[in-house]
Each structure stands twice: as structure tokens, then as C-alpha cells.
Amino acid sequence: MSSNLSRVGRILGHVVFTLIAVGFFLWSWAAFSVQLSGIFYYVSVVAVFIAVMAAFVLRRRARRLGWVGLVAIFAVLGIWYQGFEPAEDRDWAFDVAHGVQPHVDGDQITLSKVRNFEWTDETSANESWEDRSFDISKLQSVDMFTSVWDHPSIAHLLVSFGFSDGQRVVFSLETRKESHEAFNLLGGFFRQFELILLATTEEDAIKLRTNYRQEDVRRYEVNLSPEQRRDLFMSYIHLGQDMQAEPKFYNTVTSNCTTEAYRIAKVVKPGMNADWRLVLSGHLAAFVDDMGGFQEATPIEQRMEKAAITPTALAYTGTDFSAAIRN
């Protein structure tokens, strides 16, 4: 009996060792494909493959030596990967050239580098980066915009704050690409892109998605108390200050616009449980609805249908875009 258990234990140990070794190789292969090119890529892939094979050879001699080999591979890869640090001074794409720069003086909030582009198509615009001042005591509304460009379960999230003096500002956490880069999912996992917090006008960020990219954009007014609205707004201000002081990497799973979804959810319902809809943000409206984040009781299907603004935006020909998408 004991010999059978010992045999099973050895088999399980070998299976675990193999899975970890293969996982290390596949992870390094993906990371190298993002971070390296040319001869350096090929040499690095071959080197890790040889190192993994050597760990298997060591394991045949003594199981502990095999594990020591894997730990050594992990350490080397970890040191290499941690050597990549986010930066502020790259040749950025024109639309993410500047993150918001907040300045706080009591209730007076000044946002430098507010993007107010006049887009001419989905890849070009008349550029304008502006300073805007807001009195937080006049904050009176919060709108959540979801924008779906492909799969309906995945949406980009933008949050717009409205003030009683008619001003609005949109916050959006986005991938910060360099001028020669295009977004790709793999790069989002392996530190290819930095993260940026943009502050924009609705004429810029929302109209870009409705009228030029023609994405499925929906607007939901979030039902928050004055204190909750203030807390949510200031959370973006603090985030902008933090990112100004210390650049951050974008991550497809852990550091993206899902962070915004979590921020809203925490304000609406502190101490909430984790929910899959915080990751699959195309379903975020249903989650906020379940938490009582909307004022009127409406079936979620009707709410989502009513929230669709792209057809309205495409038909818009006036001078007040924000008013048009709220009619």
C-alpha cells in the first residue's frame, strides 16, 4: 500500500514539475516575443529551452536538483522582467501625449492637459490640450459610458462628471502607446504599454467613439449622493496625481479600465463582493443595477436599450453634443 502511494506521489510530482517547467517556457516565449526582436529573441528562446531541458536532466539525477534548476530559471527571468520600468518621456502617440495633471486648492480643482480634440476621422484630429478649473461644490451628476468595439462582453469604460455651471469632464484610463505602436492583447500582458489617465471633454472622447469609430456606446446616469459623487471625483484626482508622480504599466487584466469599474462599484456599495462583471465590463450596467446604482427601477434590458446613444450621436448636427446625447 505504501509503495503504491509512493509511486502515485512520484507521478504527481513529475506532472507538477512538467507543468511548471512548460509554463515557464511558454511565459518566457510570450514575453520575449513582446520585448525582444531579431537575434536577441531567437537566442533567448533557445537559451530558456535549453535551461528547461537541463532542469529535467537534473531531476532524473535527483528530484531536488530539478527543482533547484526551475527556481534558478524563475529567478533569472524575474530579474530580467523586473528590469522593465514604466516611463514618462517616450515618443507617445498624439492622442495620449499628456496625462491629466490635477492641482487641488480646497474646493477648486484645476486640471491641466485636458484633451479637447476636434476629430476629423478616427485617427486624426485638430489637437488642443487645455487647462480647466472646476468647483467641486458644484458637482451634480455622474454618468457612466460603456463603449463596445468588438465582443459585447468587453467594453471600455469612461466616467463623466457634470457641474451646475454647465461644465463636464470625462476620465478615461487607457493604454498609452508610443507613436509607432498599435495595441495588441499579448503586449497588454507583458509590459509593452504604459497606463494613462486622460481627462477629456465629451465632444472629444465620447464623440470619437460614437461618430468616428461608430462603437456601441451607452450612457447610464449613476445615482450617487453628493458625498459619493465627491469621493468618486476625488479618487480620479488622486489617481492622476499618483500617476503623475509614478508612471504605471498597463495590464490587460489587473490595470486597465476595469480599475474604473471597481472604483465606481466601491463608491456605490462599499464592502462589495468580487463579481465577474467587474472584469467583463460589457455587463457592468447589470452589476451596477443589482447594487441599486440607478435611480429608477427598470428592467436591465430596457435600461440598456434606452442607454444606447450612438444612433443619436450620428444624427447630431447641432452645437451642444452633451445635450444631444441626453435627450
Look-up: residue for cell 509593452?
192
Q: What does the block give as the cell for 183?
A: 495595441
DSSP code at position 154: -
- pLDDT for the residue numbered 71: 92
Helix, strand, coil percentages (3-state) for the chain, rounded to 5, are: 50, 25, 30
Which residues, listed in sequence order, are joined to residue 217 by a DSSP beta bridge? 147
pTM for the structure as a whole: 0.88
CA angle 74, 78, 84 (to 5 degrees): 160
Please determine, for residue 259, whether its predicted confidence score (pLDDT) is greater than 80.
Answer: no
pLDDT band at residue 30 under the 50/70/90 scheme: very high
Q: What does the block give as the cell for 315?
A: 444624427
pLDDT in tens, 113-133: 999 999 999 999 999 999 999
Contact between 62 and 39 under an 8 Å Cβ cutoff? The reply is no
Contact between 224 and 142 under an 8 Å Cβ cutoff? The reply is yes
Share of the chain above pLDDT 70, in %: 94
Bigger pLDDT: 187 vs 162: 162
Which range, of 214-223, 237-246, 273-282, 301-310, averages the lowest pLDDT? 273-282
Please determine, for residue 297, whether its predicted confidence score (pLDDT) is greater than 60.
Answer: yes
**Mean confidence (pLDDT) of the chain:** 90
Contact between 294 and 220 under an 8 Å Cβ cutoff? The reply is yes
3-state secondary structure of 153: coil
- pLDDT for the residue numbered 185: 82
Q: What does the block give as the cell for 212?
A: 468616428
